[in-house]
Amino acid sequence: MQIYKILRADEWAALSEIGTTAGAPVDVADGFVHFSTAEQVPGTLDAHFTGETGLRLLALEADAMGDSLKWEPARDGALFPHLYSGLSLADVKWQRPIGDDHTLPEGVV
């Protein structure tokens, strides 16, 4: 199953350059990297990225995350994937821009 991470332009640039990240500031504060399923991505955009542009959508394979990935209740009690380790660029299957109007890349939802 594919899971998704939304990054701001500077967060994507840092991951691209360094190869690993502890995530966005909210991820660091919470102690895990927040991900969404395809169905959850639009709600995540609405809840946490209103008015932001220059966003990137990263796709990763949930099964490849191993035991560090936990499915936990979050928004409205829905289970969200949370990664209790650093995010590695090597784990990213693909990345694509999110439209400035928050249009998702083809085939996501």
In order, the DSSP letters of the chain are: -EEEEEE-HHHHHHHHHHSEE--SHHHHHHTSEE-B-TTTHHHHHHHH-TT--S-EEEEEEGGGGGGGEEEEE-GGG-EEEEESS-EEGGGEEEEEEPPTT-PPPTT--
pLDDT tens digits, 3-20: 999 999 999 999 999 999
pLDDT for residue 5:
98
Distance CA 54, CA 7 (A): 9
User: What are phi and psi for residue 94, nearest 5 degrees?
Assistant: -160, 165
Has residue 107 got a pLDDT over 90?
Answer: no
Percent of the chain with pLDDT over 90: 93
Pairing label, strands 33-34, 79-83: antiparallel
pLDDT for residue 109:
64
Q: Average pLDDT in the 55-83 region?
A: 95
Predicted structure pTM score = 0.94
Domains plus CATH for the chain? Answer: 2-97 (3.20.170.20)
pLDDT tens digits, 21-45: 999 999 999 999 999 999 999 999 9
Distance CA 102, CA 85 (A): 28
